[in-house]
Structure 1
């Protein structure tokens, strides 16, 4: 075999997707395709119709507007960019420095996942260190490494999953350039408190760092004593923060692949360049559908879309409660989510590890869940936490509850 044949695939690609976490993911996916599965609560996608306003508007464009079925401008359609800016600026309490301009501070991307990859390519040079909080959305880590960056992980510990600021500060070196922050958090459901947001902003400014704030779950905060708070709204942070959002999560339309980024002009321009080289533009009809839904949402709490989102949030909260009670009957300790798409439980009371429990749940109960160790990079990652998706119809959760609580045969 020639050297050329041996090296057909780049080393950076060979280095991704071959670890233990990837193998566990592959096993879980295979189990989810089994004939006896009654409820798939593994992957975080809704199994109900997404936002009606968005879907109707997209259908109208597809059927009746030839131009809007072609390429959009690289930064996004004018209609969606304006809708995004109006939605961001609607709060009169936003500091002047954090208000955004449609021509300078917003970019439409082909999903927030693409935004993460494009942002790392645009910001990170080889050798730069990037702090990531684990457990994390799995795409963060390869995005850092494929940009030549060095990931530095900081563990969020159960049951609160709050940032350990002493440990975070100790992890920052002269090579640190960027912190990746996510609230509401995937996979833990933690919503950062105002104190956490303030302390993180102070540290980022004092250490002269940049921050990616992944806020795709912003519309789903369950705890009535909490609210979603933007990191970029903290004093001094607008010029240092890329804020990511997504129609996938806000409007339950994961297949549309429409996301967005807000940030300072230089970072938006840099990410836009990488976006252009990657996908050029997000799907134009779906941009227009997203714009219609955003316009309605921005019009006020009594709008059709606002009421729809409130109902979905209530549904997710109830799903977490129902599922939690069922899992507790097995000896699991439940960690109620403050927001987001997921419920986490501690399975030590069952005598199983996270991987053992997930496989047992699939094979014996027909319910798919995910071991949280796949969302870690540290060798000493906890092996007793499991994640369940709650972004499902009531009927899907009910089937899972029935299966979980059924007597063992």
Structure 2
């Protein structure tokens, strides 16, 4: 049950929550400000009265010490004055002031005189219907001077101020809450525009982008980031669609060839060389298997599941891979170790050596050495090479140059694309250049 209010609060809109929080903070701030204002005003008014009664008491003390008091004291600023001798009799006072009963008894007069600070006094027992602010000073010959002034004016002023604040603060809070509602609504309007723009983006309109607000603020940065994300998703979707289309096209040819061979064999079973038919179907099956392996490798690369952080000794991997093709590898005596996935790096070497063996006339060379912080692997052939303008294009998926479009050699057009993506996933690079004659593939990996 205790979690229900919090659940209700979390379900409110951001505009409502921000407005409520802002209003609550403003309310607390206004209440504190009103309390401080009333207290400061009250202290200031009390200090003004204290200064007046203290100044008046000093004047009377000076007159008493000079023996210039004749029993009647001229009133000033509604200040009450009583002059009391050492026997407790009132010897002088302002008009309309009690001349029989002192405002403070003898003990209280002594305490007040010693403290030197004015104090509050209820005037009703003395026939004064108000609270008084009284100060007591001692004069010569045991004379005590009491000066007092009514606190009713200050009480009325503070009461009036409190009523004004009590009525005005809620009205001001309502106005500020309304202003907060409008300002927060306008501040969040770009987010609403982003939401509406996001609902309009569908699979049939992937090139649409979210509206970017003019203000260079956090919402602007959010819109730019989301548009960049949409661009990356669109690019990935385009690549995925192109891969599916190219894969379907590549699969069609071996499947059509297998179907044709089998249909011809079944139509003329007596004159058919079944061994030749089986060899042809097996060749197409191997081509399909190679294509399926390459497609699975690309899918794994696209999902980012390529790297395993384990040490790989490149010298041993290069030697083992080259020996499968009957080649000798030129490797250094010291171990060259990189961090990555041995299976993926082995696929890179296989793809590069496959290409080199396929196009070489007589010679294929494999080398490894260390150059500073890099491990460098080269695969060289003495074949026809690749024109400089096509050396980047061959790394695209399903790309075959005109001289190698024949599928009889088993090429799928994915080997170099897989090699580049694996190498870049390991933080390295791969490039093609002239071997004079032939072509050299150079792989650089961080040791």
TM-score band, normalised by shorter chain: under 0.3
User: Which of the two has higher C-alpha Rg?
Assistant: 2
Greater relative contact order (CA < 8 Å, ≥ 6 in sequence)? 1
Normalised by the length of structure 2, the TM-score is 0.20
Normalised by the length of structure 1, the TM-score is 0.21
